[in-house]
Chains A and B, each alone.
Chain A
Amino acid sequence: MALIPVGGGRGVDPFEEFRRMQSEMNRMLERMPTARVEEFPPMNIWTGEEGIVVTMLVPGVEEGDVDITLQEDTLTIKGVRRPSDEGEGVTYHRRERSLGEFARSVVLPYRVDADKADAMFDGGVLGVRLARPEEDRPQHIKISGL
């Protein structure tokens, strides 16, 4: 059932403001995480009962150029993004991608088992899975019958 604007389209539509705000919010949210972030590479930290997963966007970084170290409760991911060598006679028209070395450190909220850490690298996305030691995991307490 089609809604006819109030006043045949020339009057005030009470929902106009809402729609305008919504589309403006959508545009703002789209613009925010562009590749021009101050921190390269951008990282998300996910927590769960089993431990922590850190995902990082590292396009153009070779697997061999990433160094992940875990010391006590600090995870450090270092690496370098190299420009592709195109030889002589090349001029840049646009340069928006940040190249060179990067290093990010994060202090984890709890200790993790370094032996069980594992990292995946796929399509420019690095994922580091850190397991919480068994004894540190939250214990579910059963409520016994009253």
Chain B
Amino acid sequence: MAKESRVPVKESEGRAVAEPEKIRTAPVFTPAADIREKPDGILVELDMPGADADSINVTFEKRTLSVYARGRSTKPSGYTLSHGEYRDGDYERSFTVSTLVDGGKIDASYSAGVLRLFLPFAKEAQARTIKVKTR
């Protein structure tokens, strides 16, 4: 008989709140990010060494930029770990982006373990400045 895995359910003030679990058992890391603003857009660089390039997923929806990637194993076969400072795992991070960015023109590239994203500012100034009247 197949084992059924249950999502833990907590009762909180009378409502049942389901806590989402990860499907994969690998740890998920938050990659370190450098964010710089240039005159024509925002440059985001994320440290994601050992990520599987085919699994990198960058999405931009409702001003939220999300990055996800699976990590490849750095374990050499036939050896055992005698000193460990890092673990293999997946990467995930999200950012809220300002409305000046043109989501459709985001440029992403992955090289030497760094994911570089360039978020260009939209050509037309879409935000209209609203003057605040003070009395």
Contact = CB atoms under 8 A, between A and B. Distances in A.
B16, B49, B53: residue with the most chain A Cβ atoms closer than 10 Å: B49
A90 B79 contact: no
A86 to B, nearest CB: 6
A55 B79 CA distance: 12
A47 to B, nearest CB: 5
A37 interface: yes
B126 interface: no
Contacts of B112: 59-62, 123-124
A41 B26 CA distance: 21
Contacts of B128: none
A60 B114 contact: yes
Contacts of A30: 27-29, 89
A83 B34 CA distance: 10
Interface in A20-49: 20, 23, 26, 29-30, 33-37, 39, 42-49
A124 B48 contact: yes
Interface of A: 1-3, 5, 9-10, 16, 19-20, 23, 26, 29-30, 33-37, 39, 42-50, 52-53, 55, 57-62, 83-84, 86-87, 89-97, 106, 109, 123-125, 127, 129
Interface of B: 4, 6, 8-11, 16, 19, 21-22, 27-39, 42-43, 45, 47-51, 53, 72, 74-76, 78-87, 89, 112-114, 116
